[in-house]
Chains A and B, each alone.
Chain A
Amino acid sequence: MTPLRRHHPLTPYLFLAPAMGVLGVFFLIATLQVVYFSLTRYTAFQGPVFIGLENYRRALASERFWLCLANSGLYLLVTPAIIAASLCAALVVESLARAGKWLRILLFLPVVTPTVVAALAWRLVFNEDSGVLNTALRALGLPAVAWLSAHPWTLVSAMTVTLWKGFGFFMMVFLAGLASVPRELREAAAIDGAGRWGVFRSVTLPALAPSIVLVFVVSSIAALKVFDELFVMVKGAGITNQTVVPLLYRIAFEEGDYGLSCAVGLLLFVVILIFSLVNLRLSRARAEEGGGAA
């Protein structure tokens, strides 16, 4: 029997080095740079000059930051809608045999549509003068809605695009989750007299809990970082209709104030971090509760 060869102690690190190098250059160093720039007065034309926490003071003192943060919070409402839509779609697709395959492809198409193209197409639907929606509302004798210019309709129209584009992806996550639910459990519940709703509520849904947590965390982080939909659809409607990332873009690339933009970005990072940690802790606690009960 061949004896095991002794490895050099640095061998694992050698294998890790390329990945660490890439991460170091494109993630760690970049992150540290952002932290440093957030403490400086830095414009496109003048190098960074250290000013301490002044950018954070400016960001927190500005009304537009809080307005945009509040809008980011409102935008989170898209998350439950995405969960509901993608879960329903997954259940329908799973229940259909041959047609399910085609439906799955059809529902996944929006995911591969570029966001800018989708937003432009939806802009036509939401057009306040000649769009399909307002035309229908007028035909019903209802007043037209300022989908693209008045708060909070601007957020509603952008959220619709996010929902339309995102739910196909999360449907696939739920389909994978549904595949792991033991068929015997569902059959046993049905034999015990549980109706369709009962099977769903007592067997399928608890089994999908990990997928729901995953979809919730991922889609809410995506909602907090939304940019394209708002930038394309409601740019002219003013900063009070935007969320934090479009604000960050405006400060960096229209106002040229990189230092302030980095500070706003880091504040958003902190918000997302806290949100995700709370989310994970709550879901873990719930899972433990469920485990204890079981």
Chain B
Amino acid sequence: MHGAAYARRDVVKTPTPLHPRLSRRAAARWCAAALCVAAVVPFVACDRARDDRAEVEFWTLSLSPMFDSFVRGRIEAFEAENPGVRVRWIDVPYDALERKLIAAAAAGRAPDVVNMPDLNFARFVSLGAFRALDDCLPGGSDERYLPGALALCRVRGGLMALPWYVNPQARIVNTALLKKGGLDVDSVARDWRGLAKQAKDFHAATGAYLFSQPLGEESQLPIMLFAEGLSPLRPGAEGALEPSLATPEISAYLADFVRLYREGALPRDAATRGHAHLTEMFQDGKVAVISTGPNFVKRIRDVSPTVYASTQVLPGAVGALNRVHLPVMVLAVTGQSRRPTEAAALAWFMTGPESQTEFCKHAAIMPSSTGSLSDPFFATPTARAGEDEKLLQARAVAAGTLADAAAFTASVETWPDLRRAFEDEFKRVLLDGADLDESLRRIETHWGSILRAAPPVGIDALPTREPVRAAGEAGRS
């Protein structure tokens, strides 16, 4: 009782604490501090809001962290030239691009400018992802870019993107492994048919693979067919395209690869995995020749020094047309962009000669800008700090290849659907033992239905035989 009475008296004398460990005075102090913070926040927010520049979101593909300084430098230069625009740069992993872009668009938050490889580009055009750029560019595009690269960006007459850098394919070879199989850089074939001929004996002698290519997943075969001069599409009536896959020539060409695969002279991953299996197997010393961008040697140097010691970069593998395939990266402005003019200006700036030349000095790639090619750097590529003779060799191969390289990707909105239909059926041939000719007929029927359902695109949509530097109207495959 006494205790309780004492406590009651105590309550009268001193204010009741809100909490055993928090006196009223302390609580008041905290409240005052919170009020101060609340009072300051609007000013900070106002300070941020004062940056009333238009924000443009720019997505690139797997350029960070290797090319951070280049991209940030160009963005700063663009912002200096366009004081009313602020660029928000986001780098997206290559494999995640489709999913991330679709998810962002579904949420109504697609970026303003997006970097796309030529293979995915047409798919997104068909989904209505991009805005035609013809009316919002500050200058003419015809003279500014290599004709073959620009042709890829035109879909049914509309300029749906601007070509950025191009990545001429090189053969990266493991000379030590070649030697085990009795080959060297001079005797290893340069064309796909030749490589296919050498592959079986090489595998028998070494247990490793002479080469590999994605045949099923992310199949390169349609592109190789164009490179071979065996176009799987032909012009039909009224500007429409028709499939021409079930021909004896195409069947014979594909049969070589099917036979090699079934005999085990090509790795199983060739059917089930895309480009990634090439680089992984090369790094592991399991394949002697791969066709990829010359820039890949940097990665070999970093992750596999032993293989790097016997790595050489040779001009890319070719088909009967003797042209190396040239994948093109493009920059497109999305239809959801709220700042299309500023977005187009950014794409224009990034694909301009100055930006492209600088980019090429950072990586073994080539520009699609005609203005860049007159830069002395491309006549005699020079190594940058930290680059050795192999990287210089990669640059030289990239530069030397461009004169004869051709872009064998069709500029057709339905191209991704056609490829997917091809891949699904060709996997059946490779993995389930389906008959090749029967499968080619089935693909042709499927392609026919896809092409009939799509608006006609005209013969210009097909890749040309001409080098990308001079591709014109003549010489369609």
Contacts and interface: CB of A to CB of B under 8 A. Distances in A.
Interface of A: 43-46, 64, 128-129, 146, 148-151, 236-240, 253-256, 258
List the 5 closest pairs (A to B, CB-CB), nearest first. Answer: A236-B272, A238-B427, A44-B105, A44-B102, A46-B128
Contacts of B334: 45
B216 A43 contact: no
Interface in B236-274: 268-269, 271-274
Contacts of B268: 128-129, 146, 149
Given A149-B268, A151-B432, A43 B127 contact: yes
Contacts of B99: 253-254
24 contacts: A43-B128, A44-B101, A44-B103, A44-B129, A45-B128, A45-B336, A46-B127, A129-B268, A148-B272, A149-B431, A236-B217, A236-B272, A236-B273, A238-B216, A238-B217, A238-B424, A240-B428, A240-B432, A253-B98, A254-B98, A255-B420, A256-B102, A256-B124, A256-B127
B228 interface: no
Given A64-B424, A255-B420, 6 more contacts: A45-B127, A45-B334, A149-B268, A239-B424, A254-B98, A256-B102
A239 B272 CA distance: 11
A236 B271 contact: yes
Given A43-B127, A45-B129, A150 B432 contact: yes
A238 B274 CA distance: 12
Contact of A45 (B110, B217, B271, B272): B110
B102 A253 contact: yes
Contact of B272 (A149, A151, A240): A149
Interface centre among A149, A236, A254 (most CB of B within 10 A): A236
Interface in B57-95: none
Point out which of B129, B216, B217, B268 has the most chain A C-beta atoms below 10 A from its C-beta. Answer: B268
- Main SS class of interface, B: helix
B335 interface: yes
B413 interface: no
B431 A150 contact: yes
Most buried by A among B105, B129, B335, B431: B431
Interface of B: 98-99, 101-103, 105-106, 110, 123-124, 127-129, 216-217, 268-269, 271-274, 334-336, 417, 420, 423-424, 427-428, 431-432
A236 B102 CA distance: 21
B314 to A, nearest CB: 28
Nearest to A250: B420
Contacts, number: 72
Contacts of A237: 272, 427, 431
B336 A240 contact: no
Nearest to A154: B431
Contacts of B424: 64, 238-240
B431 A45 contact: no
B431 A146 contact: yes
Contacts of A253: 98-99, 102-103
B432 A45 contact: no
A151 B433 CA distance: 10
B428 A238 contact: yes
B235 to A, nearest CB: 27
Nearest to B336: A45
Most interface-central of A150, A253, A256 (chain B CB within 10 A): A256
Contacts of A240: 424, 427-428, 432
Contacts of A255: 123, 417, 420
A173 to B, nearest CB: 36
A59 B471 CA distance: 40
Q: Select the residue from B98, B128, B427 with max chain A CB neighbours within 10 A.
A: B427
Contacts of A46: 127-128, 335
Contacts of A256: 98, 102, 123-124, 127
Contacts of A254: 98-99
B428 to A, nearest CB: 6
A151 B424 CA distance: 13
B32 to A, nearest CB: 38
B408 to A, nearest CB: 23
A32 to B, nearest CB: 18
A255 B419 CA distance: 12
Nearest to B428: A240
Nearest to A240: B428
Contacts of B110: 45
Contacts of B217: 236, 238
Contacts of A128: 268
A151 to B, nearest CB: 6
A278 B192 CA distance: 56
A256 B420 CA distance: 14
Nearest to B106: A44
Nearest to B217: A236
B414 to A, nearest CB: 12
Nearest to B110: A45
Nearest to A64: B424
A237 B273 CA distance: 8
A45 B335 contact: yes
A197 B417 CA distance: 58
Nearest to A146: B431
